Amino acid sequence: MSEVSDASRRRGALAVLLAWVFPGLGHFYLGRRKSAVLFAVIVIACFVLGLSFEGRLYTIQSGQPLTILATFAVYGAGLPNIVARLFSANPGGSALSVTYEYGCAYILTAGLMNLLLMLDAWDIATGKKK
């Protein structure tokens, strides 16, 4: 098992933080600029389409334990999620909309994809991924 230096850990931690703040920013920091731009476009497109489809920005609700997982997933999207919560006219989505379920799926997927990007940034920074 290979040792990870303190410098790599610090670099990895910063990359993970940047990746959470904005999709692709962690990869951009690590020098993978082309991939970073493409990741940003994909994740942001997914998130914005989810909002456009009147999906829900989940919050934890008592008696509904699955909303804990959903909220964790949505917060994985980082800054776009925060901005959307602050400025969205309808953060709870529109359950009666025909596209509501699609919107939720798009938003959750965007958050989960960004969580994967955070893990990927850590692996790149610590040398676990070339």
Does residue 90 sit in helix, strand or coil? Answer: coil
N-term to C-term CA, the chain: 16
CB of 115 to another protein, least distance (A): 12
> Binding residues for another protein, per CB under 8 A?
35, 38-39, 42-43, 45-46, 48-49, 51-54, 98-99, 102, 105-106, 109, 113, 116-117, 120, 130
C-beta closer to another protein: residue 96 or 130: 130
Q: What are phi and psi of 90, to 5 degrees?
A: -145, 75
Shortest spacing between CB 77 and another protein, in angstroms: 13
* CB of 62 vs another protein, minimal distance in Å: 31
Q: Which CB sits closer to another protein, 45 or 69? A: 45
If the CB atoms of residues 72 and 102 are measured against another protein, the closer one turns out to be: 102
Cα–Cα distance, 53 to 74 (Å, whole number): 15
Single-letter amino acid, residue 56: R
Tell me how far, at minimum, the Cβ of 51 lies from another protein, in Å.
Answer: 8
H-type alpha helices, the chain? 6-21, 25-29, 33-52, 66-75, 79-87, 100-125
